[in-house]
Structure 1
Amino acid sequence: MRFTGASLIADDVPGLVAFYSAVLGVPASGDDVFATVAVPGATLSIFAADALRRMAPVDATTVLELRVDDVDAAHERLRALGVPIVKPPTTQPWGRRSVWLRDPAGTVVTLYRDIAPPPDPADVVASYFHRLLVQRDLSACDDLLAPDYLDHDAPPGTPPGPAATRAYAERLFADHPDLRVDVGPPH
């Protein structure tokens, strides 16, 4: 576990971001809900008060931030010790998984781990069609299709799943070796 900074809870996230970015002389990243201003060794996070209250019924102006390797394991360990949990582990759209707790003085503490945000579904679809139809990479079926995927362009009676779609694409390319599809590359 490593102390990495604090999060200020604010009604005016852009105003606080502009202030601390100017004072610390570094650019901020984020949006009007969650933003960070990082300096060597620590990060100041600024989080919208209304978003905080939507996530958990807490009233706080500051949250201490501790980075952990495994949020879920930390949650289980602390819950077993009887530590008051404010918000169970959740993953936020800005790429942070966290659990919130309160110390004996009532201060909210977040144990978090930064994770990559999920890919944009449009990018996944574009990647699939580019790999399969332009590059003729049949492994795209196994990599990007769900086990119960049903290809509505395949002949009637084609079973669901990546293997059936891969077999259909393989036959399509064998039957039409000159077939060219123009699909722009994924973003």
Structure 2
Amino acid sequence: MTIALQYCHITVNDVDESLAFYRDALGLEVRKDVSSDGFRWVTLGSPTQPDVDIVLSQPHAGRSQADGDALQELLTKGVLPMMIFSTDDVDATFERVRASGAEVLQEPIDQPWGPRDSAFRDPSGNLIRIQQQAKA
């Protein structure tokens, strides 16, 4: 028996604005763009991970009004779980993301637990960390 991650959801306020961040600043490729019941889901992924997709969707997409409202409140507060991306060059990736106008939370630093990492907020306020594993 095997098991693997296939989809990971990121809740966003504006799919188009977030698409520009994840596609253009982070360099992910768009895989699907689906509309249904007045909402839209966009899946993106890294060419190096063809079997793992990130799904961008708004708080009310596919949810009840009450659940969407609760999710919107958490998104507004900036307390949804963070996403951590890995790269082989955190400094270059940091510069590309910063040049996109993303809110910088932390410039690249060497962490005592190993990786060199940086942090941003995406256009909806989600915490995004980008790390590079320490060289052996």
TM-score range, shorter chain: 0.3 to 0.5
Q: Relative contact order (C-alpha < 8 Å, sep 6+): which is higher? A: 2
Higher strand share goes to which structure? 2
TM-score (norm 2): 0.40
Which structure has the larger Rg?
1
